[in-house]
Amino acid sequence: MVNSDYLKNLNEAQKQAVLSLDGPLLIVAGAGSGKTKVLTSRIAHIIKTKNAFPNQILAVTFTNKAAKEMHNRVSKILGSSAVGLSWLGTFHSICAKLLRKHASAVNLNSNFTIIDTDDQLRLIKNICKAENIDVKQLSPRYIIAIIDKWKNKGLYPDEVKINLKDIYEKIILPVYKIYQQKLIELNACDFGDLILHTVKILEKKKDIREIYSKNFKYILVDEYQDTNRIQSKWLSLLTQENRNICCVGDDDQSIYSWRGAEIKNFLDFDKTYDNTKVIRLEQNYRSTENILSIASSLISNNQNRVGKTLKSTMETGELIKLNCFKNGKDEAIGTSDEIEQVKKNYSLNNVAILVRAIFQTREFEERFLKIGLPYRILGGIKFYERAEIKDCVAYLRLIYQDKDDLAFERIVNNPKRSVGESTIKIIHEYSKINKLCLENSARKMITENLIKPKTKLGLNLFLDLISKWRSDLKIKRLNHVKLLQIVLDESGYSAMLKNKKDLENENRLENIKELLSAMKEFDSLESFLDHVSLATSIDQDWKGEKINMMTMHAAKGLEFDVVFLPGWEEGLFPHQKSIEEKGESGLEEERRLAYVGITRAKKRAIISFSMNRFYQGDWIDSMASRFIDELPEKNLEKNSFFDENTEILNEFEFNQDIEFDEDTKRSPGWIRYQKRIK
């Protein structure tokens, strides 16, 4: 008789998901519905009922952490029986294992090296140099991203059909060909190759495919909504003999299309696998009824979804707070005031602020530093520690005082001016001997003709610009905000970010725009630089509990007692770029992101927006996000600003239309927003 202890704590839907072993199964697992418990119980059940040996089960996760968690939970149920789960791991780890056994099929030896991102960058840079490709215009990181995109679609170089209108793809495809050849010569592969090579082997080698397809009697996949095309293909090849594939996920939490995830895999599961059984896990064990009500109401506006109705096992809970503020600064103050009240009942470790874009953390960081609220940035870097911000500050520090050697060293070759490390080294040596700062040493060395001609040109230009900017500041008495704008323009720093095809540059530019806004709050360059120094050192002694700040993307899979969701304004959330590039599908993914944000909250959720934003040194009128209008009034508690400013809010165009113009793919609300900020 089967020991069924592991089934006792399962609800009916969970139990059904565990016991349904035959044929394809899609488990639509809502947020907080216990999907990990179901997966681990299902593995235990398969082994306990002797439907398969542990090594005949393939269990796939996206992270090593999730794989470890799954293994530990199965071990608690089965004890020593879990030892045989040799095929439980991530997509990449399992494919690496398969590939080592059959490496010769793709012209590799079994002892091949798996290269990391740094190795990739180095190899791409070398290829670009040999092929005379300007990495200032087309960054190696962007080239890698496009190559990864092709690999995620299952394409070798000779299978890629480039978009003829895309000038970058025309340049990148030959690089991809050389890159793959080099990898073979080095007996190496990157992470994308682990899955790509394995799929190609399974496609071309029927005998190998049959071995694994017959061996894996059961296949289980976690977070199926995050799979890309090549991962989905890999799974379908391994199920050709035994059709017992069980995929668990939540289409409402599919938020990673930008890194290749295709929600289509989830929505079309029943088309890929005939006679699919669908089980919905709708009991939520995380959030209060009110939190689930607004999350469910919001996501119901999406058309492309399997659909489910989440029911809470918790109490009704507090109403979701909807706070309107006059501006972003007031929003940060209001949030900090609320946190001061919240921390009486909850640990700060269980409080989170979730933003749509990372530049939004600045207002909150400034406020928390001012009043001494400890915080951490999860999955990112604190605002004043971000590279582009430190670059800007270094320029300003050197303009302010010429003896700042650290600032000089940081920006003398940023952007590139042919002033390499060897030149900086000899300037250092001259400085030490002559007891001069680096800037004055460089000036004297140019005068004494101690610098190579090519380097001299770039160094001279830099020093002339520094002198000119000092004159702008001291003689022309230029405003410090305007000064930085001129520095960014004349130094070539802005052009470097704008012209260089690099996926990260958009965030860098947003951060710099936010820096310009921050600077306007200070009456002089000196006071601003003092503030930055304090901001980068003040939190070093913080110990114990800290508020968590992160993007909504970084928050997926986490939960907190109290969640703040600021900046719900049109153009910011939903994000301008998503709507412009992807139209309605972009809007639906933004709504899924909102759903993820809300469902991170266990006890309390606070949503807020501002009527005005300080952006790039100017005030702009904001519009409330269309998502706010999709929240049910009965579950909301609005702050006093709504009562005190009824007339203003009526003019505020609170309600946005969501219909899209066929040609523009933009809502009327978005068009109105664009007009208002021009």
Measured CA to CA, the distance from residue 224 to residue 26 in angstroms comes to: 9
**Catalytic (active-site) positions:** 35-36, 222-223, 253, 600
Place of tokens 């296949």: 219
Whole-number Å distance between alpha carbons of 619 and 613: 6
**Phi and psi dihedrals of 637, rounded to 5?**
-125, 115
Q: d(Cα 475, Cα 387) in Å, to the nearest integer? A: 30
How many whole angstroms separate alpha carbon 471 and alpha carbon 492? 19
In 3-state terms the chain splits into helix, strand, coil percentages (rounded to 5) of: 55, 15, 30
Q: In the structure encoding, which two tokens stand for residue 591, read together?
A: 């709504």
Helices (H), 551-658: 552-555, 576-598, 640-644, 646-651
Measured CA distances, 19 to 8, 67, 120, 215, 221 (Å): 13, 22, 45, 21, 16
Q: State which amino acid sits at residue 638.
A: K
Among 319, 333, 324, 321, residue whose Cα is nearest residue 641: 324
Q: Which two tokens stand for residue 459?
A: 């160094």
Rama region for 492: left / alpha / beta (φ>0; ψ in -120 to 50; rest) = left
User: Checking phi first, is residue 442 left (phi over 0); if not, alpha (psi -120 to 50) or beta?
Assistant: alpha
Gyration radius (Cα) of the chain, Å: 28
Dihedral pair phi/psi, residue 409, rounded to 5°? -65, -35
Q: Which amino acid is at 82?
A: A
- Spatial CA neighbour of 16 closest among 34, 38, 32: 38
Give dist(CA 42, CA 26) in Å, integer. Answer: 13
Alpha carbon 70 to its chain's center: 24
**Where do we find the tokens 């090519």?**
454
Of 551, 465, 563, 466, nearest to 510 (Cα)? 551
The residue count of the chain comes to 678
Contacts of 197 (CB under 8 A, 6+ apart): 95, 99, 106, 108, 189
**Helix runs in 401-452, H state only:** 405-411, 421-434, 438-447
In whole angstroms, give the CA distance from residue 243 to residue 145: 34
